[in-house]
Structure 1
């Protein structure tokens, strides 16, 4: 049974049958309880799960302010606030743990790709306009709805990273870009949506900060890969911070020449995504090592342990 079909022990007011009362005594009729449609509709829905504003248990309209949407899990899904934590635990236990996959939240900009506007290109970078489309890692983005044209550069190893990560993780995209931009990038790196499906969160849903509140999974199992730590004020312990990928010249960096002007790129063998993938594999292995301990495992503690061990090993190498 799906968690969105959980039966309720509460009476269903719509299914109650009100029998007519035939009494000869009018005084007695006046003291009988009277039920009508208006009184029934005023009773708030007590159930926890809804879809597109309709309760999945009793088919009544819900008060949206009492529910949180999880469109990145399934279109239109809404869960009552007080039931969110238990629903996440159930989803984690029966889906993620059963498949031996952990939820992985990936940033886009400076993590998987670097995007710039054509107007921001330096003279030395103009050659890239001609190469866009003929290279597998460089694409021109333009739209009738947006007069500003962009260049999107895929990070080296990104396609191999997604292929390998898919074996261990249920991947999500979380970007401060808008929905059109996210869909445009995914059209390049995941055109068939085999990696991300509809698990995409944009600034439309989360305009100011990033939060695991919008990810339908228990926080103890969720890993985050992002180049910016400060956008995760409440979930830094879940974060694997990746080196910032800057292919084009940044407006605030006039000291060093970017990859684009040097006509080189980040290493395919030892770049940011390669190093992060090694760490993710280590966490995944540690989490699922002992089946009987899954209920107590926490990726946040595993990340701390790995960081501590690496610090010790680095210290020992310096001493030697």
Structure 2
């Protein structure tokens, strides 16, 4: 029986996977050479089904369980029977038990010599069952042993991208920690945070709640203000993925809190267990062309190959342990019994940016004959932030340090400002920490803006030119308070 028509999967990328699996994994063979391949897959499937690392319970996204079942049950095992310890696909806490029936099989649709070996499950071709070494992309978020060849992945990516663009959508890859939420181990909570235990929301009220105690994980999680509105609005413009450096169990639990009705992410949850490199992220497992993908993350260096796609987020430090993790000596939001503003916070600001990028891509560039690239659109929007500003820095960089190489200089240039080393009548801003320097005094005499470095930092995170009067250098302001945020080194 074909499971494609019965699958609840709605994303075009997942549908293409289903079509591929339905069309090609049925191919079997009764010859003696294939018998050993079947037995190897059966053995692998049996042992894999008992592993918590490979199979999540029925609370995981339906589409992910569906494809895991498809791969296990149908790769060279045409009449595998799926038995579940729950109420079907929507049951809870069940694992898939695969019983193989190897006496019968369908006739082979392609011989091993003719097969192009589009992918492998373990070391067996997913189409013909031969033992192969396939060079390509590992889709660990579907199953850690599944790998598809570069040509096949390119085909899927091209098909999925065309489908998504036809629906006037782009792709959005979302980090979890410090971007959409903040979590802490219960043992790391400080006495000043004890009051939070009286404010936690019911785990059944994920749609409206924001503070959750996950006792089974010894953890408390705070969703970032505005996150529910952000996800709802962004889902109208983007196919969304979660990509976290957290482990798989954590990623799935956070996905439940953010998307309790499974409306936004479906099977598109990628964890550190799924990636090829432990401390880096890439777009390999995202079924979208790089020219149509945006990324939200608080850490730039984990995306070494995709920085042009990245919107760097201001870190969300709700818990005290989060501040301690990054070496801040200040009180956290929880200790101050405060939180980010919803209408003026980071997620509201970045949603405005996403709307603008989406509008330019699909409206202003709609008539272009060349290929549209969201990275170029993002760069254009970014350069509008400080357009028209000419900046000189005064004792912000270490002496003998090449100013053009400093992250703050580069940040200002990326935001559209022009930077110089010497003052002249065209200068609009002097960035300093001390009002007593020669350039600072010049700025005051010439009625130029004399602002702290965090004025640029704030513009970078909020994607707007912030009021200079909120960042003026004052003679009585301690230098320690004027240091740049942790993202600028």
TM bucket, shorter chain:
0.7 to 0.9
Residue 141 (structure 1) aligned with residue 219 (structure 2) = no
Query: What TM-score comes out, normalization by structure 2 length?
Result: 0.53
Q: Structure 1 residues 62, 298: CA separation in 2 closer, same or farther (over 3 Å shift)?
A: farther
Query: 2:353 matched to 1:283?
Result: no
1:306 aligns with 2:374: no
For structure 2, list consecutive stretches of 5 or more residues without a partner in the other structure: 1-14, 31-109, 203-207, 391-416, 418-427, 430-447, 450-489
Q: In the alignment, what sits opposite 1:221?
A: 292
- CA, structure 1 residues 181+44, in 2 after alignment: closer, same or farther (shift >3 Å)? farther
Q: CA deviation at 1:222?
A: 0.4
Matches within 5 A, 1:1-320: 5=20, 43=113, 45-48=115-118, 58-61=127-130, 63=132, 65-70=134-139, 78-93=147-162, 95-133=163-201, 136-143=209-216, 149-206=218-275, 207-249=278-320, 250-251=323-324, 252-289=326-363, 290-293=365-368, 296-313=371-388
Distance, in Å, in 2 between the alignment partners of 1:84 and 1:310 is 37
Cα separation, 1, equivalents of 2:242 and 2:359:
23
SS at 2:339 equivalent: coil
Structure 1 position 254, deviation (Å): 4.8
Q: 1:295 to 1:191 in 2, by over 3 A?
A: farther
Residues 139 and 152 in structure 1, CA contact (< 8 A), matched pair in contact too = yes
Cα deviation for residue 256 of structure 1 reads 1.7
Question: By how many angstroms is 1:269 displaced?
Answer: 0.8
8 Å Cα contact 1:70/1:77 also seen in 2? yes
Whose RCO is larger (CA < 8 A, sep 6+)? 1
- What corresponds to 1:26 in structure 2? none
Deviation at 1:156, TM superposition (A): 0.2
Give TM-score, length-normalised by structure 1.
0.78
Give the structure 2 partner of residue 19 of structure 1: none
Displacement after TM superposition at 1:155 (Å): 0.2
Q: Distance in 1 between matches of 2:224 and 2:147?
A: 35
CA distance in 1, matches of 2:345, 2:237: 20
Further displaced range: 121-130 or 219-228: 121-130
Per the alignment, in what secondary structure is the counterpart of residue 96 of structure 1? helix
2:281 aligned counterpart, secondary structure: coil
In 1, are the aligned partners of 2:124 and 2:132 still within 8 Å (CA)?
Answer: no
Which one is further off, 237-246 or 74-83? Answer: 74-83
Q: 1:181: how far off?
A: 0.7
1:54: Cα distance to partner?
Answer: 7.2
1:73 offset after TM fit, Å? 7.7
Aligned CA RMSD, in angstroms, stands at 3.4
Retained in 2: the 8 A contact 1:288–1:294?
no
Task: Measure how far apart 1:107 and its partner are.
Answer: 0.2
Question: CA contact under 8 A between 1:229 and 1:241: conserved in structure 2?
Answer: yes
